[in-house]
Amino acid sequence: MHAPKISRRRFLQITAATFGAATAAGALVPRVAFADAAAPVGAAGKIETIPTYCEMCFWRCGGIGYVRDGKLWKFEGNPLDPASRGRLCTRGTGAVGAHYDPDRLQKPLIRVGKRGAEEFKAVTWDEAMAFTAERLNKVRAEHGAESIALFKHGIGVRFIEHVLKHYGVINIAAPSYAQCRGPRDTGFTLTYGLGLGSPEPLDIANTNCLVLIGQHLGENMHNTQVQEFADAVGRGATVITVDPRFSVAASKSKYWLPIRPGTDTALLLAWMNVIVNEGLYDKAFVAEHGHGFEPFAAEIKRYTPEWAAKETDLDASLIRESAREMAKHRPATLVHPGRRTTWYGNDSQRVRAIALLNALLGNWGRKGGFYMQSGMKIAPYPFPPYPKSAKEKADNPKGYPFADEGLATGIREATLSAKPYPIKAWVVYSTNLVQSLPNDRETLAAIEKLDLLVAIDTHPSEIVGYADVVLPEANFLERLDELNVNWGKPGWTQIRQPVVQPPHDQQPGWWIAKRLSERLGIPECMPFKDMDEYLRYRVEKSGFSYAQLKKDGVLMGKPAPIYIDTGAEIAFDTPSGKVEFWSEQLKEKGFDPVPKHVAPDPGPKGAFRLLTGRAPMHTFGRTQTNPNLRALMAENEVWVNTRVAKDLGLENGKYVTLKNQDGVVSNRVKLRATERIRPDCVYMVHGFGHTSPMLKSAYQRGASTSRLLTRYNTDPLMGGTSVHTTFVTVSREA
């Protein structure tokens, strides 16, 4: 495999030939609405505009919903909002389709058949709430409130979580931690004393050199970052992309490093070796803010580019040259920390190496690096305090020392083993655990142990098929929700408000929570009449006008300095109070104080490592039935290197199946034979291959990466579970 420095002419040729709508800039949608049957294009009518914020993914861009003659017409970016800056991505614009989606849940359901058989009867909300409360009370009476677990994803869970906490629930987890950004936050917290949160404080807008390690910006649509990335490319910033696949970002790069999967830490160590040994690092920053630099420098001395070349399958000269390029632009060089960093199981240490490389470049609090965010003070609601539990949480039975949020796989493990105590009920809000947790067989076995599974969802996703009671939620364009208070440049606050009414018998999360609190006999924990009253209280108590917020959609905080040079202060909440090049906390717990490279499992002979990622028009497994987004991508493809496909006698565009090392065979999936991937791996976009027949339009369309993920490694620092540890063979469809 060659490791080219791509000429501009060459990458323009490649870009034009291979990418259509999905280029980094092109993936952002200007103000054009999707047509839908309910809104005849060009027809005049009464038009209303209502600002709100998007939840098609978790970037939460501010948008404006347009209603024409009482019907949802289009959804555009809100120019006042710092996350969207007036532009939404494909999925945001396509949110209109989420409202009209015919596959949505329409009414509350109670299970009548065997668990998983998807046999339900439609019931009223009164019946559904009475059933839920009665069964929760039974579980709590028999096993204690600790035996009820909440799995969640997204801001809509706010009041359901609040009511359950008031009820005594302590076991709460989101797959967006241990299956996504957890290792990233651990790696940065160990180094700088700060997890990065969302949106991350990345000054891509001003960077002169952006390093993307498996971060496929443009395919992975985080609106603001993609806008800034497109601008950075436009003004000639250097982009260095490390990816086994020639991603959209790679096509915009000066350097593409097609690394052997799983060897990124070796590359990072060698980059640091060059920067330290050649004296290219920010000596002033390291002297003032670094802790343990000397032992760190001694440790990385052996990781030469020649050593890393053997591990990574990259040229040593390319490693050296790209390291010098990064140093040349410092401090305006930014090594992107990534978001879903659950790759191989040793991920916190890989991200710690990313954090250390950034520290050598001295970009903390510097223009073009990590800017210093400011927040916004919004008054809390004076809720009564939660009761204290006598029991410890059950989500971390293996005791991962740096897990600082709930572990979804840990709750699954506790449910299976009944240790440290039985978990007998799951309340699942907006997370499709069958697809989001590794090894779905373990998830299904755990569900078998439950007395109660409550699903609160907009769609009949796989997890809903196993529920005892299903509570259909109104989608984000149809409801009020909690305020979204953001840190940024400066901080800002967004309001979510209904643009249209739910089309059927769906209700917002806060409404479900309030009714549940009444049924559970704890109405005092939801003391307001409705959400409007709650929101007005918080906004006016903070000294802002509620009417203005409803009109504008956003409230802006006060600007504060964001760079050290212009007055921002930096402080590190680590044990030493400094950036920890050498970590005593890791050493004390028996881990490497400086990251080490662990060679990845090469996998069985003749098999390919399965890598997964995102497409700009879909979010995980939640958007495949949306008619507007389905029109852009109805099923995923499997990328296989052209030579490999030829050797296997496989034809581009024809259907194949994948078989993993445990004999699990995927749905049929279209083959994309391409030069744009290394021969030792294959690639699929995650979220397809739904197996719930109730998701009519997405059922069995494409292949599921989750189904194939039967083996996974666990991050020994914080319990994150790996996604890129499946090996598959590829065969022509039988």
Q: Which residues bind ligand SF4 (CB under 6 A)?
A: 54, 56-57, 59-61, 88-89, 91-92, 221-223
Shortest Å, Cβ 616 to ligand SF4: 9
Tokens found for residue 399:
């005791």
Element (H, E) at 611: strand 608-613
CB of 89 to ligand SF4, least distance (A): 3
Burial class (CB in 10 A: 0-12, 13-18, 19+), 384: exposed
Work out how close the CB of 696 gets to ligand MGD at its nearest, in angstroms, rounded to a whole number: 14
Amino acid making up residue 649: G
443 touches ligand MGD (CB under 6 A) = no
- Give the nearest distance from C-beta 82 to ligand SF4 in angstroms: 12
Among 111, 153, 166, 578, binds ligand MGD (CB under 6 A): 153
Binding segment toward ligand MGD, per CB under 6 A, in 358-366, 425-433, 567-575, 580-588:
425-433
User: Site for ligand MGD (CB under 6 A): which residue of 72, 83, 148, 180?
Assistant: 180
**Of 171, 179, 486, 624, which lies in the binding site for ligand MGD, with binding defined by CB under 6 A?**
179
**Rounded least distance, CB 512 to ligand MGD, Å:** 9
DSSP, residue by residue, 635-667? S-EEEEEHHHHHHTT--TTSEEEEEETT--BPP
Choosing from 415, 475, 507, 722, the residue that interacts with ligand MGD (CB under 6 A) is: 475
Smallest distance, ligand MGD to C-beta of residue 379, A = 26
Are 629 and 97 in contact, with CB atoms under 8 Å apart? yes
The helix or strand, by DSSP H or E, that contains position 173, with its residue range, turns out to be strand 171-173
Which is it for strands 28-29 and 88-89: parallel, antiparallel or unpaired? antiparallel
- Window of 137-145, 273-281, 517-525, 615-623 that interacts with ligand MGD by CB under 6 A: 615-623
Q: Which two tokens stand for residue 173?
A: 């987890």
**Between residue 338 and residue 377, which ones bind ligand MGD under the rule CB under 6 A?**
340
DSSP, collapsed to helix, strand or coil, labels residue 729 as strand
Nearer to ligand SF4, 271 or 688 (CB): 688
Q: How far is the CB of 612 from ligand MGD (least distance, A)?
A: 5
* Token pair in block for residue 288: 């003032």
Tokens of 231: 């601008």
| Binding residue for ligand MGD, selected from 103, 146, 473, 635, defined by CB under 6 A | 473
Pick the closer one to ligand MGD by CB: 338 or 595.
338
Site for ligand MGD, residues 39 to 58, rule: CB under 6 A: 55
Q: Among ligand SF4, ligand MGD, none, what does residue 534 contact (CB within 5–8 Å per kind)?
A: none
**Residue with smaller CB distance to ligand MGD, 208 or 435:** 435
Across 219-308, the runs of DSSP E, i.e. the strands, are 238-242, 255-257, 290-291
Q: Which does 223 bind (CB under 5 to 8 A by kind): ligand SF4, ligand MGD, none?
A: ligand SF4
> Sign (positive/negative) of CA torsion 249, 252, 254, 257?
positive
Please state the closest distance from residue 57 (CB atom) to ligand SF4, in A: 3
Helical packing angle, 293-300 and 264-277, nearest 10°: 110
42: left (phi over 0), alpha (psi -120 to 50) or beta: left
- Helix, strand, coil in percent for the chain, rounding step 5: 35, 20, 50
Ramachandran region of residue 544, left (φ > 0), alpha (ψ -120 to 50) or beta? beta
Q: Residue 431 binds what, of ligand MGD, ligand SF4, none (CB under 5 to 8 Å, by partner type)?
A: ligand MGD
Label the pairing between strands 71-77 and 62-68.
Answer: antiparallel
CA–CA separation, 514 vs 479, rounded Å?
14
Q: Is 707 helix (H, G, I), strand (E, B) or coil?
A: coil
Residue 175: name its binding partner from ligand SF4, ligand MGD, none (Cβ under 5 to 8 Å by kind).
Answer: ligand MGD
Angle of CA points 155, 156, 159, to nearest 5°: 105
Binding mask 452-471 for ligand MGD (x = CB under 6 A): ----xxxx-x----------
Residues that bind ligand MGD (CB under 6 A): 55, 153, 156, 175-176, 179-180, 340, 429-432, 435-436, 456-459, 461, 473, 475-476, 612, 619-622, 686-687, 705-706, 709, 723
